[in-house]
Amino acid sequence: MKLPPIGQLGPFIALLIACAIFGATTERFLTGENFSLILQQVMVVGVIAIGQTLIILTAGIDLSCGMVMALGSIVMTKFAADLGLPAPLAILAGIGVTALFGLANGLLVTRIKLPPFIVTLGTLNIAFAITQLYSNAQTVTEVPAMMTWLGNTFSLAGTNVAYGTVLMIALYLGTWFWLRETAAGRHVYAVGNNPEATRLVGIPTDRVLLGVYVLAGVFYGIASLLAVSRTGVGDPNAGQTENLDAITAVVLGGTSLFGGRGVILGTLIGAVVVGVLRNGLTLMGVSSVYQVLITGILVILAVAIDQLSRKGGR
Amino acid sequence: MRFIPTALAAALFAVAGTAAAQAQPVIGLITKTETNPFFVKMKEGAAEAAKAKGAKLLSGAGKADGDNAGQVTAMENMIAAGAKTILITPSDSKAIIPAIKKAREKGVLVIALDSPTDPADATDALFATDNYKAGELIGQYARAALAGKPAKIVTLDLFPGHPVGAQRHNGFLKGFGLAAPDAKSNELGKAPEVVCMAESFGDRAKGQTAMENCLQKAPEVNLVYTINEPAAAGAYNALKKAGKEKNVVIVSVDGGCQGIKDVGAGVIAATSQQYPLKMAAMGVEAGVEYAKTGKKPSGYTDTGVTLIAAKPMPGVDSKDVKTGTDLCWGGK
Amino acid sequence: MNDTKLVMQARGLVKRYGQVTALDGADFELRAGEILAVIGDNGAGKSSLIKALSGATVPDEGEILLDGRPVQFRTPMDARRAGIECCYQDLAVAPAMTIAENLFLGRELRRPGPAGSLLRMLDKKKMLEIAVQRMADLKVGIRSMTQAVETLSGGQRQCVAVARAAAFAEHVVILDEPTAALGVKEGNMVLELIRRVRDKGLPVILISHNMPHVFEIADRIHVARLGRRAAILDPKKISMSDTVAVMTGALPPEQIPAECLAH
């Protein structure tokens, strides 16, 4: 099997170095318990980042992802609490709303031909406003047990693992398979790499793009369920930093912002790296400002390495 | 015959003149954001007070915490619309000063609510919570609640450099009986009893993450100071998942209705309640007074902070949950 | 009259874009086993002609015959299904993807059985095999079909694009400016490939501004002028400068010596 190029190994190496440093300087970092915790802390951003990766692979971007996620959690918790819907239906309603936002984004990009940056900047504000208005800026605390189930843990080799993290990893593996082994997945790469070429060879480019935005919306909906399961409430103020956090995870994972290049598993590593930094620095007693600083440096390194490794290939 | 239009005009002017002399005082309220329940309550309080006193209230806000430009625009528009008093919760305590200076030069009364400008005398007056005192009260309560056990303290703060975050944190340390920086400091004080410090950004999910990480570092924690009640709720979640919630005392600041509910439920042991409604009402009163008599308030007026706790502690004055609920802000 | 089989024919094609008449009753004939070069000045109607033949546009009037039967192309996919493949000027390749992937872009093969129908997995092995085979057939000298297209030189990329069209075409291959922007050596590499495509039995329609290349490989030259066919020329008999004169109108079709015309 060919070794992946340095651009793709980079995030993994960064993760190993970070783990080595924290493992050496703190006591409890290198424990199963701690890693299970980190995975739970990144699972919401992690799943949002799957959708974001798909969109960035098509050379687009989605600035609304965090807010749409928050809207999803408010819809599903309020539908259960206020309208008395049974939990499964409420969950589906929440995911339905986030998928609808994905559809709206996709239609504006493909039919009206607006740049994704502008479109999602608009839907970001709309989603936020709807969330605040519908929830009346109040947290929803009456949440049915089924919605928090993903936050529960089971014992695996002596460690408590949350069901939600298993779901996150399964979603990553499934998406990885889809992108690598199916025509539809390869078309996503092709559209990002050269949309004109895909059009000329007869691939329905607009349909591929629309599908990607709707699929991303579904992932945001799943992430909103994960958010509810983690905190136990529907929080209208959630998701504000997740917009940029998801993009950070994608970039750190080696996916190119110009589209057509990237490995989805890299995004998972990108998300975990951020969680590892936050956890490790807290264990070391270092201010979180340094986490922000290091993340910023890593992002620039990731983009620079991506650019340089491509130039070398020409 | 030609006299009549002139006479009519003169009469109209006279009527208008008297009306102008008894014109409504116009007061502008500018909050940091539209949506934070704290500011929603402030706006409600201002609107009620304005109605009661026959003043006209204009309201506006920035788009998000930190949106200085939005607040400047709102101020300019309100003054153009005739506002003679501006009540503002500044998003950026330094950047807003030029706009305030311009307003005051035009004879507009400018009062800061909830957080001061930097320097604080850039505004005519400040009506705010004494955040340091808020911290001290819960520190004193925490000390009593721990009843002499050695303290292992975790602090979940806002984010570095924010004056309110520093004041509450340092006040807490002082109230607990530890050496701490004074109320003017922006630095977060440290102490050997503080086994972990993390940033929560005042957010529930981030508070949970911060608490989880601190639990990894210091599983022996028995006291958690939190910057506000959402962070406290997140901390409680983390402790509950680790099975430690019964052995840990959580204290907080804010006094929102959800937070008071959490005090009643045993999630938060004690919280310092602050009064956004009062800040706004006092601001409107000052504005109306200024419009009528030209008298300006000055200096810092403490709008009060009350310790709310479900279980009273000896030697610490607190009020019960019912009182807290009656006075709380946010949705009930 | 030469009675070689006519693979493709068009009669009286008319296409108007608002006030502009791009095709004004254009005729067209493509014989089996030939390389037909289509030349013409800008605005002469050669791109409109090619677009009509490849299904990219629908003519307002006129008919197109394929193997003697009338056909109607509403989209490029219709033309493709009829066995006509186009290689566009901008190559239409995804640079980050491999040669094999690009070859099969839009026509990917799925694995047999449930892996293919249920999981919709691609048969990457088979696609690679076929890619290697087709490239070897056409003697395209690229070592690995798994390297990314962007690692290839301009000429190699052009060869991949031409080979893709030739690999899937059943009746006609249309090449739009295949040697544009290539150096001498690389241009010759592509010309060699085009000859091999013809030798394998596929007729080629070649649009080009490059006269020396046209004269090197074309069997006949179709000159488009003012939305119609001005003449069909025999490159072995007519000179390059006379050809250019026909193209610009300096040499009217009636004045072309009979032996220069191809039939």
Q: Which residues of A touch B217 (CB under 8 A)?
A: 26, 28, 282-283, 285
Place of tokens 């006479």: B7
The answer on pLDDT for A314 being more than 60 is: no
Q: Exposed (0-12), middle (13-18) or buried (19+): which is B192, by Cβ within 10 Å?
A: exposed
Mean pLDDT, to the nearest integer, of A214-242? 94
Residues A245-258 pLDDT 10s: 999 999 999 899 88
pLDDT at B4: 61
Q: How do beta strands B270-274 and B249-254 pair?
A: parallel
A 136-155 residues with CB < 8 A to B: 136-139, 141, 151, 153
C165 to chain A: closest CA residue: A201
B110-167 residue pLDDT tens? 999 988 888 888 999 999 999 999 999 999 999 999 988 999 999 999 887 778 889 9
The encoded tokens of residue A242 equal 């997740």
pLDDT of C119 higher than 70: yes
Model confidence over C54-91: pLDDT tens digits?
Answer: 888 899 999 999 998 999 998 888 888 899 998 887 77
Helix (H, G, I), strand (E, B) or coil at B89: coil
pLDDT at B7 over 70: no
pLDDT value, residue B33 = 85
B6: pLDDT confidence band, cut at 50, 70 and 90? low
C120, A184: Cβ pair inside 8 Å? yes
Give percent of chain A above pLDDT 70: 96
Residue A193 and residue C120: Cβ atoms within 8 Å?
no
Chain A residues within 8 angstroms (CB to CB) of chain C = 181-184, 186, 189-190, 193-194, 196-198, 200-203, 260-261, 313-314
With bands split at pLDDT 50, 70 and 90, how would you rate the model's confidence at B11?
low
B185 compared with B272, residue with greater pLDDT: B272
Q: Can you tell me whether residue B78 is helix, strand or coil?
A: helix
| Residue B210 structure tokens | 């911060």
- pLDDT exceeds cutoff 60 at A3: no
**C neighbours by CB contacts (3+ pairs under 8 Å):** A
Exposure string for A205-243, b = 16+ CB within 10 A, e = fewer: bbebbbbbbbbbbbbbbbbbbbbbbbbbbbbbbbbbebb
Interatomic CA distance for residues C245 and C248, integer angstroms: 5
A261 and C96: CB-CB below 8 Å?
yes
pLDDT score recorded for residue C1: 45
Chains contacting chain B through 3 or more C-beta pairs under 8 A: A
Cα B190 to Cα B179: distance, rounded to the nearest angstrom: 9
A35 pLDDT band, cuts 50/70/90, is: very high
Contact check, Cβ <8 Å, C105/A314: no
Q: Within an 8 Å CB–CB cutoff, is residue A289 touching chain B?
A: yes
* φ, ψ for residue C261, nearest 5 deg: -80, 140
pLDDT 10s digits, A105-123: 999 999 999 999 999 999 9
Q: What is the ipTM of this complex?
A: 0.85
pLDDT of residue B201: 87
Q: Which of A174, A189, A168 is nearest to A256 (CA)?
A: A189
B332 pLDDT more than 80: no
Strand A153-156 relative to strand A159-162, pairing: antiparallel
The whole-number pLDDT of residue C42 equals 83
- Residues A43-84 have pLDDT tens digits of 999 999 999 999 999 999 999 999 999 999 999 999 999 999
Q: How many degrees, rounded to 5, is the angle at CA B215 between CA B212 and CA B220? A: 160
Q: Is the pLDDT at B75 greater than 70, yes or no?
A: yes
Task: Give the mutation candidate from B209, B237, B328 for the A interface (greatest A CB count, under 10 A).
Answer: B209
What's the token pair of residue C60? 């307002």
Under the banding of pLDDT at 50, 70 and 90, the label for residue A305 is confident
Q: How far is A199 from chain C (nearest CA, A)?
A: 9
User: Which of A40, A139, A282 is nearest residue B198 as measured by Cβ atoms?
Assistant: A282
Instruction: Answer with the residue of higher pLDDT: C245 or B162.
Output: C245
Whether the predicted pLDDT of B21 surpasses 90? no
Strands (E), chain C: 6-17, 20-31, 35-40, 61-66, 69-71, 84-87, 172-176, 204-207, 220-225, 228-233
Query: How far is B215 from A34, CA to CA, in rounded Å?
Result: 10
Give the residue from chain C lying closest to A260, CA to CA. C96
Interface A-C, measured as beta-carbon pairs within 8 A, has a size of 67
CB contact under 8 A, A231 and B203: no
pLDDT of residue A196: 87
Chains A and C touch (3+ CB pairs under 8 A): yes
Band (B35; pLDDT cuts 50, 70, 90): confident
Q: How confident is the model at residue A313 (pLDDT cuts 50, 70, 90)?
A: very low
The pTM of this model reads 0.86
- Which residues of chain A have a CB within 8 Å of the CB of C147? none
Q: pLDDT grade, residue B93 (50/70/90)?
A: confident
Residue among A59, A113, A68 at smallest CA distance from A94: A68
CB nearest to B160's CB, from A241, A285, A287: A287
Closest residue in B to A131 (Cα) is B35
Helices (H), chain A: 6-25, 32-57, 65-81, 87-110, 116-135, 145-148, 163-181, 183-193, 195-200, 205-231, 242-252, 264-284, 288-313
Q: How many helices (H) and strands (E) does chain C have?
A: 9, 10
Chain A hits for C176, Cβ within 8 Å:
none
Residue A27, pLDDT score: 82
Q: What is the mean pLDDT of chain A?
A: 91
Residue A157 pLDDT exceeds 90: no
pLDDT tier for residue B185 given thresholds of 50, 70 and 90: confident
For chain B, the average pLDDT equals 89
Q: Do A197 and C105 touch (CB under 8 A)?
A: yes
